[in-house]
């Protein structure tokens, strides 16, 4: 799945990095790197979803959109605080 040009791993239908690659390759920096890592990946399983530290599962489009709205609000609040403190 893509959202604002960012690939979201762990969403239904989204690519899943092979478990051995998740731990040893570091962060993906380009689309080409992601494509290379995904070349031999198997499709995600039902339990292959992002779980947030608070236990929420981003296992649907609606859950992801709600979380992104929350992240956007946090970022806006932090930007306003930073602007106020300058």
Return per-residue pLDDT of the chain as tens, 86 residues: 444 444 455 555 555 555 544 444 567 678 888 788 778 888 878 778 889 999 999 888 899 999 999 999 999 999 888 888 87
**Residue 72: its pLDDT value, please?**
93
For residues 50 and 24, give the distance between their C-alpha atoms in angstroms, rounded to a whole number: 19
**Residue 16: its pLDDT value, please?**
54
Q: What is the CA radius of gyration of the chain?
A: 16
**Residue 67: its pLDDT value, please?**
93
**Residue 25: its pLDDT value, please?**
57
Question: What is the pTM (predicted TM-score) of this model?
Answer: 0.47
């Amino acid at each position: 799945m893509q959202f604002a040009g960012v690939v979201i791993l762990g969403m239904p239908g989204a690519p899943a990095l092979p478990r051995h690659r998740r731990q040893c390759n570091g962060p993906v920096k380009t689309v080409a790197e992601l494509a290379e890592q995904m070349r031999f990946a198997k499709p995600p399983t039902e339990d292959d979803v992002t779980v947030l530290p608070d236990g929420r599962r981003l296992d649907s489009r609606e859950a992801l959109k709600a979380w992104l709205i929350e992240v956007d609000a946090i970022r806006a609040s932090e930007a306003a605080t930073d602007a106020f403190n300058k």
